[in-house]
Chains A and B, each alone.
Chain A
Amino acid sequence: MKYITSFLFFWYDFIIGDDWRNAAATLIAIGLTVAALSAGIAAYWIFPTVIGLYLVSLLKTT
């Protein structure tokens, strides 16, 4: 049980870490890219835009 808990904690810490918005920004970028590709729209700008917006949101960190 202890090993399963530490294994799960390792992955939680790896993916979520101190700020869950990291993982959320990545998931949003993936979702928007898949949607744009399915609609036949060029999607190379989506990832840099979403990640860029996440980084800009750090300005609100006190």
Chain B
Amino acid sequence: MSTSQIFLMTSTFLACAVEMVEALTIVLATGITRGWRSALLGVAAALGALAVIVVVLGPAMARVPIGTMQIVVGSLMLVFGLQWLRKAILRSAGRKALHDEDKIFVAEQQIARQHIADIKQPIDWYGFTLTFKGVFLEGLEVAFIVVTFGAAQQRIDLAAYGALAALVIVLVAGVLIHKPLSRVPENSLKYVVGLLLTSFGTFWTAEGLGVAWPGADLALVVLLAFYAILASLIVRQMRATTKGATA
């Protein structure tokens, strides 16, 4: 397996895991508060809708020329990766509040409780809609990640394995602990995924434009090291500035 294929599987796995933890939080909050039947029906309907989208979108993406695909996917990946990396840097430096799955879980439960009268109906449409929307939207991001990451390297299978591994791990964890996965260090995950996506996005966009990277695929490792060192120096500098200002 080449360096870029290992990167592909790792980044798909981590990015999908983050989205799945968010979807799981909504499903658990709805299921516990409003009952599991409608919540799980909402999940099943969302997964069905996503499957249709992937089946339609997947083969269409494979027909786009590889150079164009690298530019489009690479630049989207770069923008998306930079957003996550920026937030992770600011959170690590204490300049932005940490993403708290426990808080989100409580907020989702409160929303679900506001429509408690609907529960007596055969299908609780409110619970159904909450999980459908949550799983569909987060799942759409997962599908987008798998199809685009995979198509840019013409290995949708590897990207799908990465996503599948994330799904199994998040589901098993969710069933075992039956609570929001608040112990998952989400900021660290987003930090790593942000670095991987930024490195991948840089590599593919430039390659798609016609840049010859010195060392070919190994340039990915150099890019990752460069961005990781730079980000950690920025976090350190920000922390020092904050400490200096409060002292």
Contacts and interface: CB of A to CB of B under 8 A. Distances in A.
Contact of B79 (A15, A59, A61): A15
B167 interface: no
A44 B209 contact: no
Contacts of A15: 76, 79
A25 B201 CA distance: 13
Interface string A44-62: 1011100110111011011
- Chain A interface, DSSP helix/strand/loop, else mixed: helix
Interface residues of A, number: 28
Contact of A58 (B71, B89, B223, B227): B89
A51 B227 contact: yes
Contacts of B76: 14-15
Contact of B202 (A18, A37, A47): A47
Contacts of A37: 209-211
Interface string A32-51: 01100100000110111001
A44 to B, nearest CB: 5
Interface stretch (B14-22, B27-35, B230-238): B230-238
Given A55-B89, A55-B231, A62-B95, A44 B83 contact: no
Contacts of B75: 26, 30
Contacts, number: 84
Nearest to B242: A62
Contacts of A55: 85-86, 89, 227, 230-231, 234
B206 interface: yes
Contacts of A44: 206, 211-214, 219
A53 to B, nearest CB: 10
B36 interface: no
A23 B79 contact: yes
B161 interface: no
In the A-B complex, the 9 residue pairs with the closest CB atoms: A22-B82, A17-B83, A47-B202, A47-B206, A43-B211, A26-B78, A44-B211, A33-B209, A37-B210
16 contacts: A14-B76, A18-B87, A19-B86, A30-B71, A47-B202, A47-B205, A47-B211, A48-B227, A51-B78, A52-B227, A54-B82, A55-B86, A56-B230, A58-B86, A58-B90, A61-B90
